[in-house]
Structure 1
Amino acid sequence: MLILFSSLGAHGHLFPLLPLARAAVRAGHRVKFATTGGFHEVLAGIGVEPVVAGAGMRDFASQVLPPGKSPRDLADAEGIPIIARLFGDLLARSFATDVAGLIEQERPDLVVQELANPGAGIAARAAGVPVLCHGFGRMSTGSEMPKLMVGHLRGVAAEHGVDLGDVDADAGDDSPFLLGNPYLDICPPSLRDPSFSVPGTIPLRPVPFATPGELPAIATAPRDKPLVYLTLGTAFGHAEVFRAAIDGLASLDAHVLVAAGPAVETAALGEVPDNVSLHAWVPQADLLPHVDLVVHHGGSGTTMGALGAGVPQLVLPQGADQFSNAEAVVAAGLGERLIGDEVAAEAVASAARGLLVSEEVAVAAKAVAAEIAAMPSPDEVAARLPELI
């Protein structure tokens, strides 16, 4: 059958869907992936046909952000309505229009909609095509954003002749993103927010994905000291936070591997000590099994990857869902977090030093990794796709 995947054009939204897309190809299905143009080479490289759809988040930045501000600068009271409009209106409308045209042209048997891309789900519902909603991490409740999003989504849906009357504006969770469709959940059960309960949830093992690349030598070389990996992801990197973390981690009796990511130039981080290895990018999915501690921003991809590798985590959340991910890591005994002004060299060093020697955290991390390994694999879920439509 023909399966059309669609996600927003960002690493943290697209990469979690690729293991299932690749498994669907292995299962003999035709697979197309509708997203913005920046990831088309990656998609083609795994045997998935890329098709252009939607706009990127940056394309709408000038319409939603106050002049001179980034999402990190916004307090919740100011930021939540802005983000709700970005995801529930502008991005949803862009993808709904483009995916509707693709569905009319291609007539897929199934649409797999990334959670934060409800526009693709609206287009599929308008055409009567079955939809599965694919999560990208741990979903949490308590935000006002879903309630605000429903109003925006109803307007987008109405433009496509779809009535979202069965989507509960007062659910208090992320149900507006799902549009009432079955949910592929990659979060291990023990870390799920108990108040986020979706009937018919289909568990799916989170498998980290990275574009091919060579690991730094320190990752696989024999060593007598622990290896600490520092990243702030692809969207929320800040040189000041990196510098504080590097200064703290460099004081440890450990090797430190830093991935600056696309948001920060390595030159902006200055000189680093001999025990610090600085890189613009590393194949993170391949690196994680080799590290002893991950110090990171709390993005869903890195959090899930560290969980699957059974590695303790020190989380330095910067925005978006990173704060709730950090809270979940700490609550499960899997690591520590430092927030805002707490991110100072001394605090980073102290927290990292404690995590590297904590047997309790190590045992908890290995237990969650075993739980993830027992979840249905992408190949197992791909084999079930025909029965799910």
Structure 2
Amino acid sequence: MRLLFTALGAHGHLFPLMPLAAAAREAGHHVVFATANDFRPTLEKAGLEPATAGLTIGEAFAAQFPGFEPGLARRELPPEELAATIGRVFGRVMPERFATDLRGLFEQHRPDLVVYEVGNPGGLFAAKTAGIPAIGHGFGRVSSDGLMADIDRSMREYADELGITEEGPAWGTPFVDICPPSVQAPEFLASAHRVPLRPVGWSDSGELPDGVADHSRPLVYLTLGTTPMSKQGVLASAIAGLSGLDADVLVATGPSLDPASLGEVPPNVRLAAWVPQSALLPHVDLVVHHGGSGTTLGAFAAGAPQLVLPQGADQFANAEMVLSAGVGTRLLGDEVTAESVHSDAARLLSDSAVADAVRGLADEVAGMPSPAEVAAQLPQYT
């Protein structure tokens, strides 16, 4: 069977699909993975056949903002205009470009099934207009709040132009859902054709930092993700708070921030531009992070409590999910101070009720179907 996977050009959108794509390849299917050209090396390293389609998020915003720089729109646009622009970028600019590019790819690789990441409905729209079966693949809890309403509005307008009448987020197709049911949106659970899939972490391979696998005292992992944003102040406050714990602190600063810009840090803190997160999480006692879906679900699976410092997009919904599940807490905006981070982190490292909730959620994740099991189901959707 010929499969075409497609995802937006961003780690948080690409990586959730990688385990299923790899499992489908291992099952003997011909897998082509279409995304922005920046991720070609990642796909090749994973043994997947890459194809170039669409834009990166940065390229899409640059098309809307001449002279675009990360954080520029967030700082300079009024909130209503910013929300409308984000809605247009994710709901129209990127899907339209992906749909155009994929139609060309279909002429070279006529797939039996398109597996589209739901943040990239261009994959769905291209498949529907070409008469090819499609199945969605989620990356976390399904939300229609906040910015998602603006994105959905732009998507709906584009779908109407194409004559597509079904509604999102699944648009009438089956939906591979990697979110544990106990924390998934109830309205989505009640209405969607779900195909449950265990969230399996994926990151580029690499060596764990020295001492991680056999640490003798609590290990705290701090990350604000890989997407460029103005985050130096939040990281500095978090580092200051966490460094006062009787714990070791490992900080992944991400590719957009030079670790040297944070200055000298206390001896129990280590800075790294990148770590192999999926390999790291099982060794971590607490995850302090931005609320990205990959980190949130990875911590669920690893059985680690979470302190979430959301910065944008779906991160606020993920922070609420963590709080509601009893597996962690959150700090919003000006609440992020060294003192509050220290206090919350210290409590999460010792709270037995949180530890019980974390174990229960990890058991739920472990009981979900594996990528190999779901890959075996894909032929029935053609």
TM-score category (smaller protein): over 0.9
**Are the structure 2 counterparts of residues 277 and 25 from structure 1 closer, same or farther at C-alpha, using a change threshold of 3 Å?**
same
SS in 2 for 1:13: helix
* Pairing 1:55-94 to 2, within 5 Å after superposition: 55-65=55-65, 70=72, 72-73=74-75, 76-94=79-97
Q: Which stretch of structure 1 is more off in the superposition, 333-342 or 73-82? A: 73-82
Could you tell me which runs of 5 or more consecutive residues in structure 1 were left unpaired when the two chains were aligned: 168-174
Which residue is 2:18 aligned to?
18
Residue 110 (structure 1) aligns with: 113
Q: TM-score by structure 2 length?
A: 0.94
Letter matched to residue 181 of structure 2: P
Paired AA for residue 229 in structure 1: Y
Structure 1 residue aligned with 2:250: 257
User: Gapped runs of 5+ residues in structure 2?
Assistant: none
CA contact (8 A) 1:237 1:263 kept: no
Contact 1:166 1:180 in 2 (8 A): yes
Quick check: 1:135–1:185 contact (8 Å CA) kept in 2? yes
Aligned: 1:244 with 2:237: yes
Q: Is the 8 A contact 2:219 2:250 kept in 1?
A: yes
Q: Which residue of 1 aligns with 2:123?
A: 120
Instruction: Give the drift of 1:26.
Output: 0.8
* Distance of 1:180 and 1:82 partners within structure 2: 27
Among 74, 98, 107, the alignment partner of 1:95 is: 98
- Alignment partner of 1:132: what SS? strand
Identity value in percent:
52
1:213 aligns with 2:206: yes
Tell me, yes or no, if the aligned pair for 1:255 and 1:276 is still in contact at 8 Å.
yes
Q: Is the 8 A contact 1:250 1:273 kept in 2?
A: yes
Q: SS of the residue aligned with 1:220?
A: coil
- The residue that corresponds to 2:345 in the other structure is 352
Partner of 1:383: 376
State whether structure 2 residue 48 is matched by structure 1 residue 48.
yes
Please tell me whether the aligned partners of residues 223 and 290 of structure 2 are also in contact (alpha carbons under 8 angstroms). yes
Q: Quote the Cα distance in structure 2 between the aligned partners of 1:147 and 1:222.
A: 45
Superposition pairs for residues 261-300 of structure 1, below 5 Å?
261-300=254-293
Partner deviation per Cα, 1:2-33 (whole Å, 9 max, x = no partner) = 10000001000000000000000111101000
Aligned Cα root-mean-square deviation (Å):
1.8
Q: 2:87–2:147: 8 Å Cα contact kept in structure 1?
A: no
Moved more, 316-325 or 235-244: 235-244
Among 137, 141, 154, the residue aligned to 1:138: 141
Deviation at 1:141, TM superposition (A): 3.0
Give me the TM-score of the superposition, normalised by structure 1: 0.93
Report if aligned partners of 2:33, 2:43 keep a CA contact under 8 Å in 1. yes
Counterpart code for 2:26: R
Partner SS, residue 166 of structure 1: coil
AA in 1 matched with 2:195: I
Opposite residue 47 of structure 1, the aligned amino acid is G
CA distance in 1, matches of 2:347, 2:193: 40
Give, as a single letter, the amino acid of the residue that structure 2 aligns with 1:107. R
Aligned to 2:31: 31
Q: 1:183 aligns with which of 175, 178, 193?
A: 175
Structure 1 runs of 4+ aligned residues shifted over 6 Å read: none
Matches of 1:253 and 1:280 in 2, distance apart?
23
* Alpha carbons 1:237, 1:264 under 8 Å: kept: no
SS of residue in 2 equivalent to 1:314: strand
SS, match of residue 82 in structure 1: helix
8 Å contact from structure 1 (residues 213, 282) kept in 2: yes
Per mean C-alpha deviation after superposition, the further-off stretch among 113-122 and 52-61 is 52-61
SS of equivalent to 2:363? helix
1:307-346 equivalence runs, <5 A: 307-346=300-339
Give the superposition deviation at 1:247.
0.5
In 2, distance between residues paired with 1:149 and 1:325? 19
Amino acid at match of 1:304: L
Q: Could you tell which deviates more after superposition, 194-203 or 338-347? A: 194-203
**Alpha carbons 2:83, 2:150 under 8 Å: kept:** no
Q: Distance in 2 between matches of 1:320 and 1:222?
A: 34
| Secondary structure of 1:258 counterpart | strand
Q: Secondary structure at the match of 2:220?
A: strand
CA separation of 1:72/1:248 partners in 2, compared to 1, >3 Å: closer, same or farther?
A: farther
8 Å Cα contact 2:115/2:136 also seen in 1: yes
Q: Secondary structure of the residue that 1:215 maps to in structure 2?
A: coil
How many equivalent residue pairs? Answer: 377
Contact 2:95 2:120 in 1 (8 A): yes
